Amino acid sequence: MRVIISGGGTGGHIYPAIAIANALKAKNPATEILFVGAQGRMEMQKVPAAGYEIIGLDIAGFQRELTLKNLSFPIKVVKSLWAARQIVKDFRPDVAVGVGGYASGPLLWAASGLGVPTLIQEQNSYAGVTNKLLSSKAAKICVAYEGMDKFFPKNKIMFTGNPVRSDIVSVTDKNPEALSFFGLNASAPVLLVIGGSLGARTLNESMEQGLAKLQAAGCQVIWQTGKHFSERAKAAAQAYESVKVFDFINRMDLAYSAADVVVSRAGALSVSELCLVRKPAILVPSPNVAEDHQTKNAMALVSRKAALMVTDAAARQELVGKVLDLLQNTALQQELKQNIATLGRPDAASQIADEVINISK
């Protein structure tokens, strides 16, 4: 079987794509997989590091504000559609899978036009424009939230959850290794702060302001900043031995295992991982996303008492106080753990891989 997987831009698209590829390989090692991404984006490094070939399209998103960059957008779309069509012709896939991100639109459009069956994996609770446009031609649409028939044809929807990295499916027995890895003390609580693969300014500035309070409360911190805030964060944390700063955490399984409480953006992948690792979480949805979909992702948990939420606008004033309250409230921690555990879907990648195989037949 030959499969093209397209999309990327952030870890929220790339890691589910790699998880699907790994599940396909686990079911049949002879499966040939080609990734198609966007030139200059994160997938062009992360996919080869995972052992897969990738081709980049010269494609970028349409900017919502007025900018000269938008003048080149139609040209890039036409070029990418032409290049995607050639890639499909050369590789001759049995199935094309789109996971969202700039490259998935041209590639799935080209594949459909050439008679290749397509599968869409929609990670968010609010469907992206590209996936909505592509859904009429898709054979199957795998979703992670209930009620997605308001965006997609109901007969094509399959509820699978979001695929996550296999090392994150079980972190319960890794705590001693995790504490050693990060140089942490087993007798003090640990806060994990993750702003997504590219970082989050609001979370970073909230943490920067609150380091003294967290230290005074005896809290240890694992802080993923993203590369743009990394040096500033390291300078701010110099005075605090219990604060560990990383621009990017490669061992997220150990980070989750060490954590007692997690502060995170509400991207689809982060939410899915939190459900699997069963950690009490405070979500701070990014306001800089299409249709405010991170707030919708967060509310899917908050409405079930499976997580807490602080708005981006209120985070600098309220976030650290909310963290300290949660760290001191073990009953609430336990309630959040129990409720979030019911939402995890550890077999999502395997289910999607089975559907890819079915479509290929």
Question: 306 exposed, middle or buried (CB, 10 Å; 0-12, 13-18, 19+)?
Answer: buried
Q: Is the pLDDT of residue 198 over 70?
A: no
pTM greater than 0.75: yes
The response to whether 125 counts as a known ligand-binding position is no
The answer to whether 138 is a known ligand-binding residue is: no
CB-CB contact of 24 with 50 (8 Å): no
Domain match, 107 and 195 both:
no
Give the CB-side neighbour count of residue 39, counting CA atoms within 13 A. 8
Query: For the domain that residue 80 is a member of, what is the CATH number?
Result: 3.40.50.2000
124 annotated to bind ligand: yes
Q: Is residue 118 domain-shared with residue 66, that is, in the same domain? A: yes
pLDDT digits over 89-138, tens only? Answer: 999 999 999 998 788 999 999 999 999 999 999 988 888 788 888 999 99
User: Is residue 165 part of an annotated ligand binding site?
Assistant: yes
222 in Cβ contact with 249 (< 8 Å): yes
Question: Of 29, 31, 32, 57, nearest to 43 (Cα)?
Answer: 57
**159, 226: one domain:** no
Name the β-bridge partners of 35: 5, 54
- Structural domain containing residue 279: 170-341
222, 249: one domain: yes
Q: Are residues 160 and 192 in the same domain?
A: no
- The answer on 222 and 262 residing in a single domain is yes
Q: Which residues of 94-123 are buried (b: 16+ CB within 10 A; e: fewer)?
A: bbbbbbbbbbbbbbbbbbbeeebbbbbbbb
pLDDT at 268: 87
pLDDT digits 0-9 by tens, 130-159: 888 899 999 999 999 888 999 999 999 999
Tell me, yes or no, whether 337 and 350 share the same domain.
no
Is 12 annotated as ligand-binding?
A: yes
- 40-49, 151-160, 165-174 — most confident range: 151-160
Angstrom distance (rounded) from CA 232 to CA 262? 21
Mean pLDDT confidence for 216-238:
94
Q: What confidence category does residue 1 fall into, taking pLDDT thresholds of 50, 70 and 90?
A: very high
Is 284 in the same domain as 337?
Answer: yes
271 annotated to a ligand binding site: yes
Whether residue 227 is found in the same domain as residue 249? yes
Q: Are residues 214 and 334 in the same domain?
A: yes
Query: Which one is predicted more confidently, 200 or 255?
Result: 255
Mean residue pLDDT of the chain comes to: 91
Residue 160 and residue 241 in one domain: no
269 marked ligand binding residue: yes
Residues 52 and 89 in one domain: yes
* Number of domain units in the chain: 2
Is 121 assigned a ligand-binding role in the annotation? no
Q: How much of the chain exceeds pLDDT 90, in percent?
A: 71
Predicted confidence band of residue 73 (pLDDT cuts 50, 70, 90): low
